[in-house]
Amino acid sequence: MLAATIVLVHLCVVLFITAGLPLIFVGAALGWQWVRSWRWRALHLLAIVLVAGESLLGIACPLTVWEDMVRGREPGVGFIERWTDRVLFYDFPPRVFELAYAGFAVLVALTWFVIPPGRHAPRRS
């Protein structure tokens, strides 16, 4: 049960990071005020920077390590790599994920300039 809870929390983090970026662009286009919230944007940026940093430094995600410990497995590949392998049946080298995480972090950081937090788009009638 604990392992399933950890996986669910991990999935929520992944969804927050991955879905957050397109929501920022869609929300800005549709005039949604919350996509410019400084706190939400800072949390989003911090989340992907932590993931990218862990990956680039070769640090295993604590949630993955914790899940492996609870399941009695040796720490192995990361959460995304494990699920990508299960879904796609293809084993990408870790460098692919390092570059993907870092690239995504840069893209999220760039949205602070393209769609800056704290400013509100004009309301649509």
Helices (runs of H) and strands (runs of E) counted in the chain: 5, 0
| Tens digits of residue pLDDT in 17-55 | 999 999 999 999 999 999 999 999 999 999 999 999 999
At residue 42, the pLDDT reads: 96
Yes or no: say if 68 and 75 are a contact pair by the CB < 8 Å rule: yes
Banded model confidence at residue 88, pLDDT cuts 50, 70, 90:
very low
d(CA 46, CA 61): 14
Of 73 and 99, the structure prediction assigns the larger pLDDT to: 99
What are the structural domain ranges in the chain?
2-114
Tally of CB atoms within 10 A around 55: 23
At residue 119, the pLDDT reads: 57
The amino acid that residue 48 corresponds to is: I
At residue 92, the pLDDT reads: 75
The amino acid that residue 91 corresponds to is: D
Yes or no: say if 10 and 83 are a contact pair by the CB < 8 Å rule: no
